[in-house]
Amino acid sequence: MTLIEQNILSAISIGLIIAVMASIKNSQLKATVYSLPIPITIALIATGGKVNITNIVGLFLITLFLWLVWILHERGLGIYASDVIAAVCYVAVGYAGVKYIKLPFYAGVFIYLVAWLVFILAYRNRVVSEKTRVSSKINPAVKGAIVTILAYILFSLKKYLAGIIVTFPFSGVFAVIESKHMLETLAGVFTRNSIAILMMFVTIYALGETNLVLRLAAGWAVYLVALKLVIKFAPLKKTQ
């Protein structure tokens, strides 16, 4: 897969995700759609299924990105400013993480699991308040098309960030704008669901150099099973 093909497919996938999110009213379902690892899968195909500690660092930083956007917006900062500041922080912390974190893969998995369990135990009884949703005048399909174009431009610029970040939240910068009325739900649901993405990474990593299609298929199978389990056994409080 060439870089241009990867950028086009990734941009289209993000546009589709935002279009689907825009057509969904249920906030937790909307957040679950965002957590589908479709852009991640495209990136894995482009890199030959390469998974290492940087994938775990990137997953952790995506959750921090979402929470930072929520915190900044809650404190009165506009959604676009919150988005940009959180993205800049992601780049800065991502650079340091990639440069200085040299943990073995499974050590990173263990640390992430512990942090995830702490989050689940601390957050499970929280009732999330959401702002009143203002209906968008833009058709979801049109919104998806616009995001696809903007995402492609953003992907085309990523070469200037080479060596600084490994997994920039390309879909996140659009998702937080679409979900500005439910940012805490988006962050909470994604953080909970992220354990399924982690299990996907572990599966692909554990299968080593076997056929890429089989690794991705196994990774998605484990992801879907893990997602179903966390939704069932680690439900978040309904919003009010």
CA–CA separation, 142 vs 134, rounded Å?
Answer: 17
Q: 92, 200 in Cβ contact below 8 A?
A: no
pLDDT the model gives residue 240? 55
Structural element, H or E, at residue 236:
none
Cα 76 to its chain centre, rounded Å, is 24
Which pLDDT score, from 0 to 100, does residue 162 have? 46
Q: What is the maximum alpha-carbon separation in the chain? A: 50
**Tokens matching residue 155:** 């992907």
Confidence of residue 133 (pLDDT cuts 50, 70, 90): low
Indicate the pLDDT class of residue 45, thresholds 50, 70 and 90.
Answer: confident
The encoded tokens of residue 91 equal 């780049």
Element (H, E) at 231: helix 212-233
Question: Is 169 strand, coil or helix?
Answer: coil
Task: Give CA–CA dist 151/154, Å, rounded.
Answer: 5
pLDDT value of residue 164:
43
Among 69-73, 137-141, 192-196, whose mean pLDDT is lowest? 137-141
What local confidence, expressed as pLDDT, does residue 30 receive? 92
Highest mean pLDDT among 91-95, 131-135, 149-153, 195-199: 195-199
Residue ranges of domains in the chain: 3-233
Q: What is the pLDDT of residues 75-109, one digit of tens each?
A: 999 999 999 999 888 888 877 777 777 889 999 99
- pLDDT (tens digit, 9 = 90+) per residue, 163-189? 445 457 778 888 999 999 899 999 999
